[in-house]
A and B are shown apart, each in its own frame.
Chain A
Amino acid sequence: MQGRASPDVPGIAAATVFAIASQIIGAAFLYLILRVDGGWQVVGLLALLGLGFYLLERLPWIADYALASFARVPLVAMITAAVIVLAFPFFVGSNTYILHLLIVAELYAVLALALNFQLGSANIPNFATGASYGIGAYVSALLAINFGVSFWLTLPVAALAATLFGFIIGIPSMRTRDTYLALVTIAFGVVVQQLLNNFSWTGGPNGLVGIPAPSLFGHSFADPLVIFGWKLPSQANFYYLSAALVVVAIVTAHRLHGSRIGLAWNALRADEIAAKAQGINVAWFKVLAFAVDAFLAAFAGTIYAFYVSYISPDNFTFLVSVTIMTMVIVGGMDNIFGVIVGAFLLTILPEKLRAFADYRLLFFGVVIIGFLMIRPQGLFPQRMRRYGGEP
């Protein structure tokens, strides 16, 4: 790990066992927290989670060991992850609410990964991810409703439209920075949301209704999914679709992180002037970060629109952008795994806090502030870049 020969590289067998067991435990925990609905059980599980992070904090070798074992048997780890993701709906069964939560969490994971390119890798604030998400949703929904374009064709079109928007927001980013840039992105977000709210062809505050369900090879996504005689509710279609999108986002993030682009973004984060002196085209990479963010966010927006089949400007407010930012910060900036955990946690937590009925937003705010104060570097802080040789 990290260039030094660590004495505790796990053996193949130990690594395999660890990689499989840890993922199953993680999945079981997710399953439990989705299943329980009593207020105190949620509190208990959260306390358990807190204990886990406390242990991670106290005993950093656990994280090192985990990373080392995953790196030792990457194939096993990936296959386990794939099996868990594929099998999860079978355990959930006919509980559509849990599937719904999972889909929303997956879409937010994509959004958080999208924002992570900017906020995490390059440390550029962007409060307009919600707007890109909305543009993706509206463009694809309008195409499908007015022109009967199929879902699979609206995906790239929506992504292109949002990318264009990303470039437009990116332009002021060449000149402004920090707080001023944050305000520019807030302003873009508010303008988009207000326009969606006021134009008549976007349905105004009522939004768009009746977005047709997509279909693939003759199978409509509105129908239940039947696999080997198992009948899964129709939400399972979207669950797998969003899971595929998460995989695409992870691969994109991973490849970009390893490429010169990711390196350039990290250089921007570390020191803009030094980056410029190294010959990095600062303006271009900043704008590129905005464009990539908008591109991925539009994918999530499209799936969201077709999944709920009803969108309104209220789904894409400033607070949505703030939530996405919080996911990245709470999860851990520039850490792909952390960002996904952050997205899942912050999607599921408010839902579970419904047990506290009216007080859940209050709770949510307090939890976020607490997180930022106690663990400002996020749940999973970013790791040092590894240059060169594998361990």
Chain B
Amino acid sequence: MAELLVQQLVNWITLGCIYALLAIGFSLIFGVLNVIHFSHGDVAMTAPFITLALAQALATALGASGPAWLVLAVPVAVLAVGLIGVLLDKVVIRRFRDAPAMMALVATVALGIVIRELIRHLYPQGSNPHAFPRLVSGMAFEISGVAISWFALLVVVLTVALVAMLFVFLRMTPLGLRIRAASEDRVVARMMGIRDARVFRATFFIASAIGAIAGLLFASYAGVTRFDFGVMAGLLGFSAAVIGGLGSMPGAILGGLIIAGIEVLAQTFVPDGASYRLVFVFLLVIAVLIFRPAGLLGRTVMEKV
């Protein structure tokens, strides 16, 4: 029992960190643009494909396939996805920042379709699932008879490092200050001489790059990736961001951990729970929003006339 518990605890933390990284992207973009970037999950899930394609290309160009190419491909893919995010913002999403919220939602859902279809067509045999290797393999150490994998360790360390970096960036750099200002009030920020185009670019780059890392970890955790994994990744990340409270970083992390927690709990303790796990997750989402309509850590804005 203790073994099972520890094992599930590790699963929970690993998955929770991945969801938290996805949720941070949603929250960051919503905070600044007030737009739900529903295709964020799809953007994130392009990262595994770009990595695979790059590793493949490197292997054929330089010969001698090996995990080394993968390690080389990962940072390039993360950068590329960050730039994809910036491009999507410039071409599509920014135009909806002042439109009714539903319009932006539908537009980004359509954008998600476009991204998925592009992956399907551009990647060779894109309709099929593709194996994605663990970024690191092997066991790190043991806790009460349960071996903790390097991968789980990597996920946790990477998440903590990214969150810390994001925190420092938002709190202590001039650009971070501008992002926070624009997130507080875009119009006033503009009056203070903050160029919002730059803020949007930076926000989308950071959010998409973090999403790319989450997407790589997600594919690595599942061991496989497919062109339409972005739908679920997006829905779960979005849910995590919303139940935590949109625009709140600690909320995004909390939301990710909660969503992962209920998923792992359902899989472990409910008979046949694996097939019902989404039911539990989304029932929890509904319950949270009934009692905390602005999310757990979200600011409840009293509307005044």
Complex CA–CA separation, A183 to B293 (angstroms) = 11
Complex CA–CA separation, A119 to B237 (angstroms) = 25
**B291, closest chain A residue (CB):** A175
**B36, closest chain A residue (CB):** A179
Interface size, B (range): 35 or more
Stretch at the interface among B3-11, B108-116, B136-144: B108-116
Decide yes or no: A180 and B295 within 8 Å by CB, A172-B286, A190-B282, A372-B107 being known contacts. yes
| A373: contacting residue among B30, B92, B112, CB under 8 A | B92
Cβ A180 vs Cβ B100 within 8 A: no
| B106: contacting residue among A171, A172, A326, CB under 8 A | A326
Task: Tell me if B2 counts as interface (CB < 8 A to partner A).
Answer: no
Complex CA–CA separation, A107 to B290 (angstroms) = 32
Task: Tell me if B294 counts as interface (CB < 8 A to partner A).
Answer: yes
Name 27 A/B residue pairs within 8 A (Cβ), A-sorted: A176-B289, A178-B101, A179-B30, A179-B36, A179-B105, A180-B295, A182-B105, A183-B242, A184-B286, A186-B235, A187-B286, A187-B289, A188-B286, A194-B276, A197-B275, A198-B272, A198-B279, A272-B303, A318-B231, A322-B109, A329-B106, A362-B113, A362-B121, A365-B112, A369-B107, A373-B95, A376-B103
Cβ B279 vs Cβ A191 within 8 A: yes
Shortest Cβ gap from B105 to chain A (Å)? 6
A-B contact count (CB 8 A): 125
Interface size, A (range): 35 or more
Decide yes or no: A190 and B235 within 8 Å by CB, A325-B106, A376-B99 being known contacts. yes
Task: Tell me if A366 counts as interface (CB < 8 A to partner B).
Answer: yes
**A271, closest chain B residue (CB):** B305
Complex CA–CA separation, A135 to B85 (angstroms) = 38
Task: Tell me if A61 counts as interface (CB < 8 A to partner B).
Answer: no
Cβ A369 vs Cβ B111 within 8 A: yes
Cβ A180 vs Cβ B293 within 8 A: yes
Cβ A179 vs Cβ B285 within 8 A: no
Task: Tell me if B96 counts as interface (CB < 8 A to partner A).
Answer: yes
Task: Tell me if A359 counts as interface (CB < 8 A to partner B).
Answer: yes
Contacts of B238 in A (CB 8 A): 183
Cβ A362 vs Cβ B117 within 8 A: yes
Complex CA–CA separation, A273 to B121 (angstroms) = 49
Task: Tell me if B246 counts as interface (CB < 8 A to partner A).
Answer: yes
Cβ A329 vs Cβ B114 within 8 A: no
Complex CA–CA separation, A318 to B96 (angstroms) = 22
Task: Tell me if A125 counts as interface (CB < 8 A to partner B).
Answer: yes
Task: Tell me if A361 counts as interface (CB < 8 A to partner B).
Answer: yes
**Residue among B30, B95, B117 facing the most chain A CB atoms (10 A cut-off):** B117
Complex CA–CA separation, A347 to B159 (angstroms) = 44
User: Which residues between 272 and 305 of chain B lie within 8 Å of chain A, taking CB atoms?
Assistant: 272, 275-276, 278-279, 282-283, 285-286, 289-290, 293-295, 303, 305
| A194: contacting residue among B111, B118, B279, CB under 8 A | B279
Contacts of B283 in A (CB 8 A): 187, 191
**Cβ proximity bits A351-374 to B, threshold 8 Å, 1 near / 0 not:** 000000011011011101100110
- List chain A positions with a Cβ less than 8 A from chain B: 119, 123, 125, 171-172, 175-180, 182-184, 186-188, 190-191, 194-195, 197-198, 272-274, 318, 322, 325-326, 329, 358-359, 361-362, 364-366, 368-369, 372-373, 376
Cβ B103 vs Cβ A187 within 8 A: no
Nearest first, the 6 closest Cβ-Cβ pairs linking A and B are A365-B113, A362-B117, A187-B282, A365-B114, A368-B110, A176-B293
Task: Tell me if B239 counts as interface (CB < 8 A to partner A).
Answer: yes
Contacts of B294 in A (CB 8 A): 180
Complex CA–CA separation, A318 to B105 (angstroms) = 13
Cβ A187 vs Cβ B106 within 8 A: no
User: Which residues between 23 and 80 of chain B lie within 8 Å of chain A, taking CB atoms?
Assistant: 30, 36
User: Which residues between 244 and 292 of chain B lie within 8 Å of chain A, taking CB atoms?
Assistant: 246, 272, 275-276, 278-279, 282-283, 285-286, 289-290
Task: Tell me if B102 counts as interface (CB < 8 A to partner A).
Answer: yes
Cβ B282 vs Cβ A191 within 8 A: yes
Complex CA–CA separation, A310 to B103 (angstroms) = 33
Shortest Cβ gap from A165 to chain B (Å)? 13
Cβ B285 vs Cβ A184 within 8 A: yes
| B278: contacting residue among A172, A194, A325, CB under 8 A | A194
Contacts of A318 in B (CB 8 A): 231, 235
Complex CA–CA separation, A186 to B113 (angstroms) = 17
**B100, closest chain A residue (CB):** A123
Contacts of B36 in A (CB 8 A): 179, 182
Complex CA–CA separation, A358 to B30 (angstroms) = 33
Cβ A365 vs Cβ B102 within 8 A: no
**B305, closest chain A residue (CB):** A273
Complex CA–CA separation, A359 to B118 (angstroms) = 9
Cβ A179 vs Cβ B246 within 8 A: yes
Known A180-B293, A365-B111, A369-B110; 16 more pairs at CB < 8 Å: A180-B289, A187-B239, A188-B282, A188-B286, A190-B235, A190-B282, A191-B278, A194-B279, A197-B275, A273-B303, A358-B121, A361-B117, A362-B114, A365-B113, A365-B114, A368-B110
Shortest Cβ gap from B258 to chain A (Å)? 14
**A362, closest chain B residue (CB):** B117
